[in-house]
Amino acid sequence: MHTFRTSSHFHKLLLVLTAAYFLTSLGHFSHNAEFICEYPNLPAWLTRAQVYAVWAAITSVGALGLLLMRRRFMATGLLLVAVYAAMGFDGLGHYAVAPIALHPLMANVTILSEVAAASLLLPVALWLLASHMLRNKVRIQQP
């Protein structure tokens, strides 16, 4: 009973952290799209619509993961949620094209908030995935 209860708490935590990451990701991508000219050294071809399209594609990975978990495809769903969280670190790429000091304060706040939320979600998703696989003795097929 204790294991189930702990697992239930971690599943609730996963939902809360997924929601937090969703909101911080939306904040970062919205800021990026609406103030695209303020982000230093972004490619000239990048448009507002493309930024929103990328956000929608990334978010669909997390949404599909949650849907699969709800449909009892836990391992695949948790893996997709972990991938969704890992994509949250991509925002750090802004600092590969221009140092943090060149970004406006709000850009840094939205980027770092998204990364922080992703860094909280990823280990919980991976822990739940590992726990699920051990509990159900899921074997990874070797080619």
The span from the CA of 30 to the CA of 11, in Å, is 28
* Residue 143 is assigned to a structural domain of this protein: no
* Residue 141 is assigned to a structural domain of this protein: no
* Residue 63 is assigned to a structural domain of this protein: yes
* Residue 98 is assigned to a structural domain of this protein: yes
Domain count, the chain: 1
Least confident of 57-66, 100-109, 128-137: 128-137
Q: Which pLDDT value is given to residue 29?
A: 98
The span from the CA of 50 to the CA of 56, in Å, is 10
| pLDDT tens profile 68-104 | 999 999 999 999 999 999 999 999 999 999 999 999 9
DSSP string, the chain: -HHHHHHHHHHHHHHHHHHHHHHHHHHHHHHHHHTGGGSTT--TT--HHHHHHHHHHHHHHHHHHHHHHHTT-HHHHHHHHHHHHHGGGGGGGHHHHS-GGGS-HHHHHHHHHHHHHHHHHHHHHHHHHHHHHHHTT--PPP-
Which structural domain range is residue 109 located in? 2-135
